[in-house]
C-alpha cells in the first residue's frame, strides 16, 4: 500500500514537472522512467509554460505540489548563496495557498490537547481563522479571565504529510547528488536535511512557545521590542496560546507614515534590535517576514517593534560572534588580507591554503560591492560573497551563520524599504567596535569573573575539607620522605664505611708487603719486619670488621 502511495506521489511530481517544462530536472534521476507515463496524463499541458522563465515555471510547479513544497521554495528563495538570483526572486513570490481547516477540527485538537472543553477555558472563540498557513492556523479567543489571546493550532495529520513529502525529497536529492555534479556542489541533501530539521521544530509548538518566552525575557522592559506573553497553562505540542497583540503591520509603509512614524528611527531601531539579538543575546529571530513584525505606533517618534512567530530562532557561540564582528570590520576597512587570515586563525580554513590566493578571491568577490554608495552596501550581500568564496576553499559554512546571513539580508531589505537612505554601516559600526572592545577590556574580565563566580562559590565550602585532606596527604608523603631520607643516609654511611674498609685493606696489604721486604732485606734483624707486619695485620683485621649500619 505504501509503495503504491509512493509511486502515485512520484508520478504526481513527475507529471507536474513535465507540465511546467521542468522535466529536464528529472533526466539524471530514475524518476525519468516515469516521464512517458506522466506525459500521457498531463492533459492540461501548459502550452504557454515554455514562454515563462525557469523561475516562474518552478514557482508554479511548487505551488501545485502543495504546502510542503511551497515552504521549501520559500526557504530556497532566501538561500541566495546557493540559488541564482532569477530563481530566488521568483520563489520569493511564493504564497501559502492552503485551505483553512474547519473550526470544528481546530476545536477538537484544542480540546483533545488541553483535556477539557473549549468552554471551560475560553469565554469566546472566533470560528473564522485569523490566518491559515501550511503548518498551523490561528484563531482569536478570550480567556475566562478576560485576556484577549490567539490560539495557534497545528494542522491535523500534518506530521504524516510532512514525512511523506520529505521522504520523497530525500530520494530525489540522493538521486540528484548521485548523478549530477551541480547537485553535489549545491549540497542538495544538506538543504533537504536543513529543511527537515526546520519543519521538525515547527511542528512542536512548545518549541515556539519556549523561544517566544526567551525572546520576551531578553527584551523585558525594552522600548525597542515587545514580545507577547505565552500562556503556558494552555500550551501543548499542537496548541499554543499567546497574548493577542495589536499593531501596524511593518509592510504597510503608507499606514506607518500616516500614523506619523519617524521612519529613520524605525529603520535604525530595526538594525539595533538585530545587532542586540545577535551580539548581546546570541539568540535571534530568524523568520522575520513582514507577517511576523508589527509596530506599536503609540509614540510615533519612538516606535516599538512587536515580534511574533518565534518558530525559527538562530543561536551563535562566542567564536561565531567574533568571526562575524572581525570580518565585518575588516570588510569595511577593505582589509581582505585580514579576512583571509581570520579564516585560517579561527581554523575555518585549512592551514595549507595560500593566504594570498584566498585574499585575492575575497577581493574579487567583495570589491564590486563597494561600487555602490556606502548607504547601499549590504552586510548580507558581503556574507553571501564570503561564504561562496570560502566554499571554493573547502570551508564548511556553519548553518547558524547561513541563517544569520539570511536574516541579515532580510533586515537590510526591510530597513531600506522603511528608510531608503539608511546607512547600515553608520548604525552598526559603533555597535561592533564597542562589542569587540568589551571582549578584551576590563568589562570582559569582570564578565568572566561573574560567569565563573558561581562555580567558585560552589567549590568554596569544600575548600577547608580539601585543604585538610591535602595537608594530611602531605604529612603522609613527608613521613614517607623522612624514612626514605634515612634509608639514603644509611646507604651513604654504608658506602662510606665500605670505602674505609677498602682503604684499610690496601694499607694493611701495603704494610704486609713492606714487612716481607724488610725481612728479605735485613734477615738478621727480624724486629722491624715484625713491627711493620703487626701494623699491616691490624689494618687487615680492621678492614674485615663487619660493616654495621646505624
Ligand X SMILES: Nc1ncnc2c1ncn2[C@@H]1O[C@H](COP(=O)(O)OP(=O)(O)OP(=O)(O)O)[C@@H](O)[C@H]1O
Between 131 and 484, name the residue whose CB sits nearer to ligand X.
Answer: 131
Q: Give residues 78-97 in contact with ligand X (rule: CB under 6 A).
A: 96
Name the 3-class secondary structure at 132. Answer: strand
131 in contact with ligand X (CB under 6 A): yes
133 marked ligand binding residue: yes
135 marked ligand binding residue: yes
Contact code string over 272-291 relative to ligand X, x by CB under 6 A = -------------------x
Per-residue DSSP letter, 99: P
**What are φ and ψ of residue 487, in 5° steps?**
-60, -40
Between 171 and 309, name the residue whose CB sits nearer to ligand X.
Answer: 309
Q: How many CB atoms lie within 10 A of CB 283?
A: 18
Between 55 and 228, name the residue whose CB sits nearer to ligand X.
Answer: 228
- In this chain, which of 33, 130, 466, 506 binds ligand X, going by CB under 6 A? 130
- Residue 287 annotated as catalytic: yes
Name the minimum Å distance from CB 210 to ligand X: 15
- How many degrees, rounded to 5, is the angle at CA 530 between CA 524 and CA 532? 120
- In this chain, which of 10, 135, 183, 409 binds ligand X, going by CB under 6 A? 135
Cell matching residue 449: 569573573
- In this chain, which of 245, 344, 355, 540 binds ligand X, going by CB under 6 A? 245
- In this chain, which of 126, 282, 292, 315 binds ligand X, going by CB under 6 A? 292
Q: How far is CA 331 from the centre of its chain?
A: 23
Between 152 and 269, name the residue whose CB sits nearer to ligand X.
Answer: 152
Helical spans, DSSP H, in 66-157: 67-77, 85-91, 103-114, 118-121
- In this chain, which of 10, 91, 133, 401 binds ligand X, going by CB under 6 A? 133
Say if residues 202 and 134 touch (Cβ distance below 8 Å).
no
Distance CA 393, CA 399 (A): 17
Name the minimum Å distance from CB 52 to ligand X: 26
Q: Give residues 374-393 in contact with ligand X (rule: CB under 6 A).
A: none
Facing residues of 285 across strands? 313
Q: Give residues 400-429 in contact with ligand X (rule: CB under 6 A).
A: none
- In this chain, which of 13, 138, 162, 191 binds ligand X, going by CB under 6 A? 138
> Given the DSSP bridges, would you call strands 304-307 and 225-226 parallel, antiparallel or unpaired?
parallel
309 in contact with ligand X (CB under 6 A): yes
Cell matching residue 78: 532566501
Polymer length of the chain? 550
- In this chain, which of 58, 114, 168, 242 binds ligand X, going by CB under 6 A? 242
Name the minimum Å distance from CB 45 to ligand X: 32
Pick the catalytic residue from 23, 165, 268, 287. Answer: 287
Instruction: Calculate the alpha carbon distances from 288 to 281, 293, 351, 407, 507 in Å.
Output: 17, 7, 37, 7, 103
137 marked ligand binding residue: yes
Residue with grid cell 699491616, as numbered in its chain: 536
Say if residues 387 and 402 touch (Cβ distance below 8 Å).
yes
364 marked ligand binding residue: no
Name the 3-class secondary structure at 278. Answer: helix
- In this chain, which of 58, 136, 153, 424 binds ligand X, going by CB under 6 A? 136
68 in contact with ligand X (CB under 6 A): no
Name the minimum Å distance from CB 140 to ligand X: 8
Contact code string over 146-185 relative to ligand X, x by CB under 6 A = ----x-x---------------------------------
3 state SS for 378-394: CHHHHHHHHHHHHHHCC
Distance CA 431, CA 325 (A): 10
228 in contact with ligand X (CB under 6 A): yes
Name the minimum Å distance from CB 14 to ligand X: 28
Count the residues of the shown chain that bind ligand X, applying the rule CB under 6 A.
18
134 marked ligand binding residue: yes
Say if residues 167 and 126 touch (Cβ distance below 8 Å).
no
Q: How far is CA 339 from the centre of its chain?
A: 21
Between 261 and 293, name the residue whose CB sits nearer to ligand X.
Answer: 293
Q: Give residues 23-62 in contact with ligand X (rule: CB under 6 A).
A: none
Distance CA 24, CA 398 (A): 31
Q: How many CB atoms lie within 10 A of CB 107?
A: 17
513 in contact with ligand X (CB under 6 A): no
* Sheet with strand 225-226: strands edge to edge: 225-226, 304-307, 293-296, 248-249
Say if residues 134 and 98 touch (Cβ distance below 8 Å).
yes
H helix or E strand, kind and range, residue 371: none
130 marked ligand binding residue: yes
Between 248 and 385, name the residue whose CB sits nearer to ligand X.
Answer: 248
Stretch that binds ligand X, among 75-83, 277-285, 303-311, 506-514 (CB under 6 A): 303-311
Binding positions for ATP: 130-138, 152
Binding positions: 130-138, 152
* Contacts with ligand X, residue ranges (CB under 6 A): 96, 130-131, 133, 135-136, 138, 150, 152, 228, 242, 244-245, 291-292, 308-309, 311
The residues that are catalytic are 287
Amino acid at each position: 500500500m505504501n509503495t503504491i502511495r509512493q509511486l502515485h506521489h512520484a508520478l504526481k511530481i513527475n507529471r507536474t514537472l513535465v507540465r511546467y517544462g521542468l522535466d529536464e530536472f528529472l533526466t539524471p534521476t530514475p524518476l525519468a522512467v516515469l516521464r512517458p507515463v506522466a506525459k500521457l496524463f498531463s492533459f492540461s499541458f501548459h502550452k504557454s509554460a515554455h514562454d515563462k522563465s525557469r523561475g516562474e515555471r518552478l514557482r508554479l510547479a511548487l505551488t501545485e505540489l502543495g504546502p510542503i513544497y511551497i515552504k521549501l521554495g520559500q526557504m530556497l528563495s532566501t538561500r541566495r548563496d546557493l540559488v541564482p538570483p532569477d530563481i530566488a526572486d521568483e520563489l520569493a513570490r511564493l504564497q501559502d495557498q492552503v485551505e483553512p481547516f474547519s473550526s470544528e477540527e481546530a476545536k477538537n485538537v484544542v480540546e483533545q490537547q488541553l483535556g477539557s472543553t473549549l468552554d471551560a477555558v475560553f469565554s469566546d472563540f472566533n470560528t473564522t481563522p485569523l490566518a491559515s498557513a501550511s503548518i498551523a492556523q490561528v484563531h482569536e479567543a478570550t480567556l475566562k479571565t478576560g485576556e484577549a489571546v490567539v490560539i495557534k493550532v497545528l494542522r491535523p495529520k500534518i506530521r504524516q504529510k510532512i514525512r511523506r513529502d520529505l521522504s520523497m525529497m530525500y530520494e530525489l536529492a540522493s538521486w540528484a547528488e548521485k548523478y549530477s555534479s551541480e547537485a553535489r556542489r549545491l549540497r542538495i541533501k544538506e538543504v533537504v536535511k536543513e529543511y527537515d530539521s526546520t519543519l521538525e521544530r515547527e511542528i512542536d509548538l512548545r518549541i515556539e512557545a519556549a523561544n517566544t518566552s526567551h525572546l520576551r525575557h531578553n527584551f523585558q522592559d525594552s522600548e525597542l521590542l515587545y514580545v507577547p506573553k505565552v500562556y503556558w497553562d494552555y500550551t501543548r505540542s499542537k496548541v499554543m496560546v499567546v497574548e493577542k497583540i495589536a499593531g501596524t503591520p511593518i509592510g504597510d509603509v503608507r499606514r506607518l507614515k500616516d500614523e506619523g512614524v519617524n521612519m529613520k528611527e524605525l529603520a535604525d531601531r530595526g538594525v539595533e534590535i538585530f545587532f542586540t539579538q545577535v551580539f548581546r543575546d546570541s539568540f535571534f529571530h530568524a523568520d522575520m517576514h513582514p507577517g511576523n513584525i508589527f509596530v506599536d505606533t503609540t509614540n510615533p517618534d519612538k516606535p516599538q517593534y512587536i515580534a511574533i512567530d518565534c518558530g525559527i530562532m538562530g543561536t551563535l557561540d562566542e567564536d561565531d560572534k567574533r568571526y562575524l564582528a572581525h570580518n565585518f570590520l575588516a570588510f569595511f576597512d577593505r582589509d581582505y588580507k585580514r579576512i583571509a587570515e581570520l579564516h585560517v586563525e579561527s581554523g575555518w580554513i585549512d592551514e595549507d591554503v595560500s593566504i594570498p590566493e584566498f585574499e585575492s578571491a575575497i577581493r574579487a568577490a567583495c570589491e564590486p560591492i563597494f561600487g555602490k554608495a556606502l548607504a547601499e552596501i549590504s552586510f548580507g550581500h558581503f556574507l553571501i560573497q564570503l561564504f561562496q568564496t570560502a566554499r571554493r576553499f573547502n570551508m564548511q559554512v556553519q548553518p547558524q551563520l547561513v541563517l544569520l546571513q539570511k536574516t541579515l539580508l532580510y533586515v537590510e531589505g526591510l530597513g531600506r524599504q522603511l528608510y531608503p537612505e539608511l546607512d547600515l554601516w553608520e548604525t552598526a559600526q559603533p555597535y561592533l567596535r564597542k562589542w569587540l572592545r568589551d571582549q578584551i577590556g576590563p568589562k570582559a574580565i569582570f564578565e568572566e569573573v561573574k560567569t565563573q563566580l558561581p562555580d567558585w562559590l560552589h567549590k568554596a565550602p569544600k575548600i577547608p575539607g580539601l585543604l585538610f585532606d591535602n595537608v594530611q596527604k602531605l604529612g603522609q608523603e613527608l613521613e614517607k620522605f623522612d624514612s626514605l631520607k634515612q634509608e639514603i643516609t644509611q646507604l651513604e654511611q654504608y658506602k662510606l664505611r665500605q670505602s674505609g674498609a677498602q682503604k684499610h685493606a690496601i694499607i694493611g696489604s701495603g704494610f704486609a708487603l713492606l714487612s716481607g721486604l724488610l725481612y728479605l732485606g735485613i734477615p738478621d734483624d727480624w724486629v722491624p719486619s715484625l713491627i711493620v707486619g703487626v701494623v699491616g695485620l691490624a689494618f687487615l683485621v680492621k678492614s674485615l670488621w663487619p660493616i654495621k649500619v646505624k
